[in-house]
Amino acid sequence: MLRMLFVGKLLSSTGAIIVLAMSMSAQAEVVDPAPFLVRSEGEKAATTVPGDRDRLLELPLEDLLTLESTSVAKKRQRVDDSAAAVFVMTQEDISRSTASSIPDLLRMVPGVEVADIQSSATAVSIRGFNSLLSNTVLVMIDGRTVYVSAVSGVLWDQQLIPLSDIERIEVVRGTGATLWGNNAVNGIINIISKHSSDSQGGTAEFRAGTRKRTANLSYGGRHGDALSYRLYASGLNDEGTTDAQGHDLAKPSITGAIGTRVDFQPDARNAFTLQSDYSHGRTSIAMRRVSPDLSRPAYEDKRFDGHFEGVRLLGRWARTQSELLDWSLQANFDHGTRRDLEARMARDLADMSFGLRWKASRVHEFSLGLDARVVRDRIDGNPGLYFAAPAATEYWFSGYVQDDISLVPDRLRLTLGSKIEHNRISGVEAQPSAKLFARLSSKLALWGGYSRAMRTPSRLERNFTGLLNVFPGSVVGASDVPVVQSWTSGSPDLKPERLNAYEMGLRAKPGGNWSLDVSAFLNDYSHILTVVPVALRPILMPGSGMPMALRMDSVVVNGGRLRTYGIEAAISGRLMPYWKVDIALSQLHCDPDASAADPAYGVRWVDQTLSPKVQVNLRNAIDIGDRISVDAQLRYVGELANGAVGDRVGADLRLSWRPVPTVELSLIGENLIQARQQEYLMPNLLRPDAYAPRSLSGQVRLRF
């Protein structure tokens, strides 16, 4: 009985992971910021393909503006022709949404789970495994990975790019299309900022409301036809979530960033990009912790104020060697510090990557990438949370090779490839994939494939000690007992978590501007990390020899196995010429792990019941003439944790009026249906329940 309780309580260790996740800043590894929309395929000379000119004229303006004039004849691999479940959010989608942060934007994407946890902490995941860390999703901004390998997660509150500077966000569900990146197990979120020559002049955006205030300023200029730049600044004051009665849980988080992007294209073959940004923020979070004084065991409710600071630099050189060969080289450096829960963390990352595409023939197009990265971090914990070795330096090497084989031109395509990765933890690992795409007609396409992926255990998952629980006296004896928990790798050859993924999809254009995109998947995970308690011993009071606390030691093993499957659909079309509708549906099932009954199984890191089984999202974009627009979003999210968080219906509304084309005034309502809603829960985490409140705001957008 006691052992079972310990096992359950051990889950609260995930709380410590969350805390420390906040310690990290972003990292990088990817060269190509736009893997889907601009892909070269130089098989057809412009003058020899009569239909090609027509195809260009059919492209929407947004796509034309990102096409390269030297490669007009290159066929873009459009989303319609990709052998993966891809959703593209355009700047139009972004500017019409009510969102003021990237996670909020992602609520519109089928198969993506977004939940406010508390204050600036948000859980985002794809196809299950939802947690603060988003630990199975690779997130990239302009080709720079913001996935933090040390804790396998993403720090959303540090991603402060102004939403108006984003060109588009591509979300790929499933692992097969994620050529790049370690740990991109369940999907990839690729955020691509506007080219600086696309945002000339000034843009200002101010928003003030009952819960949030934001200000974004952006200014772009150019020098001749070759050099352009953009400067931006963004600020956010967010009062965050509340308790069940509507009182603030913590102080507002105040965050801001300034940044630049410079693009230089001296000739048709070479393009250089230089980006830099500095971010700073004050955060606040309410937590319940164990008193560090072990002789007086108690929980303390406390508000922890923290802060972060980060500097990022990125340089990229993209060269078109010939119509058939192009490559790019990217280097970036990140430095970040963060203080949370009285622990201080510092981190440096340097990354260099190379990517190449070669159209070898009418049949084959090869892609190849190499990446090398070094991460040095130091985490000085507080008395209750610490690493045995506070500082660590880790080296990562990875690459991929892929061949796109056109079996029947424009009809049938086979894609074979593999990621290859080397690191100290797992040695060399190959992650192959095979995808088949078939276009049956201009209105119908099918795709399917198999891929294998892995997630390397983070440093935190391998070795950590924390004072995390107090066991009440009613359970263990006469008085309350604090418990220090620690875990270490159960064996020197702890393996990465593995995934065998099977996917298929259908894209149809039944006519009348309607489109349908359906995908289904079966994900079979093995080697899932579990934490198994192995020893329990007293900690004695110095001098007296009396026991005052317990220490529970655990090992981390690859004990778990999971199977998830589901289906997602995106339906898009116009009810009327002025009324666009987008519907996103997703359903997710998780088979119980049969081996979990084994006492040696331990406890899994992520609780699958924290992902909703059903999600429905309906977006309406209505134009009343050119000056007035109405955008309404309705969503349904199924229950979490077997009903501990009930299912919910939410509604967001934006009313916009443009008195002149360069000025837009909007009224925005978020979470309109209920005064507040709980979106997430950490059943074993010592943290008060948090509720996302209803909010109203007004916004002004200016172009000058």
Do β-strands 212-223 and 137-141 pair in parallel, antiparallel, or remain unpaired?
unpaired
* Binding segment (CB under 8 A) for another protein, from list 51-59, 170-178, 345-353, 539-547: 51-59
Give the residue, chosen from 4, 225, 408, 511, that forms a contact with another protein under the rule CB under 8 A: 225
Give the residue, chosen from 271, 290, 555, 637, that forms a contact with another protein under the rule CB under 8 A: 271
Residue 530 CA, chain-centre distance (Å), reads: 23
Q: Is 312 left (phi over 0), alpha (psi -120 to 50) or beta?
A: beta
Q: Is residue 662 a contact point for another protein (CB under 8 A)?
A: yes
* Binding segment (CB under 8 A) for another protein, from list 126-134, 284-292, 355-363, 613-621: 355-363
* Binding segment (CB under 8 A) for another protein, from list 120-128, 197-205, 230-238, 511-519: 197-205
The residues in 57-116 that bind another protein, with binding defined as CB under 8 A, are 57, 59-62, 64-74, 91-92, 95
Q: Which of 226/672 has CB closer to another protein?
A: 226
* Binding segment (CB under 8 A) for another protein, from list 230-238, 361-369, 527-535, 559-567: 361-369
d(CA 593, CA 130): 17
Closest approach of Cβ 390 to another protein, in Å? 38
**CA-based nearest residue to 167, from 184, 192, 188, 189:** 192
Q: Which of 98/656 has CB closer to another protein?
A: 656
* Binding segment (CB under 8 A) for another protein, from list 193-201, 243-251, 381-389, 644-652: 193-201
What 291-300 contacts at long range (C-beta under 8 Å, 24+ apart), as own/partner pairs, is 291/482, 292/382, 292/383, 292/384, 292/467, 294/467, 294/482, 294/539, 294/548, 294/549, 295/541, 295/548, 297/470, 297/479, 297/480, 297/481, 297/482, 297/549, 298/470, 298/480, 299/470, 299/686
d(CA 13, CA 553): 12
In our burial notation (b when 16+ CB lie closer than 10 A, e otherwise), range 196-213 reads bbbbeeebbbebebebbb
Sign of CA dihedral 292, 298, 304, 309: positive
Q: What's the 3-state SS for 409-449?
A: CCCEEEEEEEEEEEECCCEEEEEEEEEEEEEEECCEEEEEE
Q: How many CB atoms sit inside 10 A of residue 643's CB?
A: 9
Q: Is residue 201 a contact point for another protein (CB under 8 A)?
A: yes
Give the residue, chosen from 29, 32, 43, 377, that forms a contact with another protein under the rule CB under 8 A: 43
Q: Is residue 665 a contact point for another protein (CB under 8 A)?
A: no
Closest approach of Cβ 364 to another protein, in Å? 4
The residues in 150-169 that bind another protein, with binding defined as CB under 8 A, are none
Give the residue, chosen from 208, 360, 391, 475, that forms a contact with another protein under the rule CB under 8 A: 360
**End-to-end CA distance of the chain, in Å?**
68
Give the residue, chosen from 321, 361, 393, 491, that forms a contact with another protein under the rule CB under 8 A: 361
Q: Which of 108/499 has CB closer to another protein?
A: 499
Give the residue, chosen from 2, 5, 53, 301, that forms a contact with another protein under the rule CB under 8 A: 53
Closest approach of Cβ 362 to another protein, in Å? 6
Closest approach of Cβ 452 to another protein, in Å? 7
What ranges in 147-218 are assigned the alpha helix state H? none
The residues in 389-418 that bind another protein, with binding defined as CB under 8 A, are 403, 405, 416-417
Q: Which of 1/57 has CB closer to another protein?
A: 57
d(CA 180, CA 145): 10
Q: Is residue 248 a contact point for another protein (CB under 8 A)?
A: no
Please list the helix, strand and coil fractions of the chain in percent, rounded to the nearest 5, in that order.
Answer: 10, 60, 30
Closest approach of Cβ 644 to another protein, in Å? 37
Do β-strands 187-193 and 137-141 pair in parallel, antiparallel, or remain unpaired?
parallel
The residues in 321-350 that bind another protein, with binding defined as CB under 8 A, are 322-324
In our burial notation (b when 16+ CB lie closer than 10 A, e otherwise), range 645-665 reads beebebbbbbebebeeeeebe
Closest approach of Cβ 580 to another protein, in Å? 12
Q: How many CB atoms sit inside 10 A of residue 557's CB?
A: 20
Give the residue, chosen from 293, 473, 627, 641, that forms a contact with another protein under the rule CB under 8 A: 627
Q: Is residue 219 a contact point for another protein (CB under 8 A)?
A: no
Give the residue, chosen from 478, 511, 512, 626, that forms a contact with another protein under the rule CB under 8 A: 626
Closest approach of Cβ 628 to another protein, in Å? 10
Closest approach of Cβ 125 to another protein, in Å? 25
The residues in 524-563 that bind another protein, with binding defined as CB under 8 A, are none
Q: Which of 95/284 has CB closer to another protein?
A: 95
Longest CA–CA span in the chain (Å) reads 92
* Binding segment (CB under 8 A) for another protein, from list 175-183, 373-381, 530-538, 659-667: 659-667
Q: Is residue 50 a contact point for another protein (CB under 8 A)?
A: no
Q: Is residue 699 a contact point for another protein (CB under 8 A)?
A: no
What is the phi/psi pair of residue 518, to 5°?
-120, 135
Q: Is residue 303 a contact point for another protein (CB under 8 A)?
A: no
* Binding segment (CB under 8 A) for another protein, from list 217-225, 565-573, 585-593, 611-619: 217-225
Sign of CA dihedral 404, 407, 409, 412: negative
Assess contact for 571 and 582: CB atoms under 8 A: yes
Q: Is residue 426 a contact point for another protein (CB under 8 A)?
A: no
Assess contact for 328 and 353: CB atoms under 8 A: no
Q: Which of 223/247 has CB closer to another protein?
A: 223
Closest approach of Cβ 57 to another protein, in Å? 5
Closest approach of Cβ 405 to another protein, in Å? 5
Q: Which of 83/123 has CB closer to another protein?
A: 83
Q: What does the DSSP 8-state code read for residue 70?
A: G
Give the residue, chosen from 122, 131, 279, 320, that forms a contact with another protein under the rule CB under 8 A: 320
Q: Which of 42/381 has CB closer to another protein?
A: 42
Q: Which of 64/440 has CB closer to another protein?
A: 64
The residues in 452-511 that bind another protein, with binding defined as CB under 8 A, are 452, 500
The residues in 130-149 that bind another protein, with binding defined as CB under 8 A, are none
Closest approach of Cβ 658 to another protein, in Å? 5
- Concatenate the DSSP letters of all residues of 603-660 into one string: EESS-GGGS-SEEEEEEEEEEETTTEEEEEEEEEE--BGGGTB--EEEEEEEEEEEEE
d(CA 21, CA 131): 11
What 61-67 contacts at long range (C-beta under 8 Å, 24+ apart), as own/partner pairs, is 62/90, 62/91, 62/92, 63/37, 65/198, 66/34, 66/37, 66/38, 66/167, 66/195, 67/38
The type of residue at 281 is G
Give the residue, chosen from 228, 284, 587, 699, that forms a contact with another protein under the rule CB under 8 A: 228
d(CA 161, CA 156): 11
# of chain residues touching another protein (CB under 8 A): 72
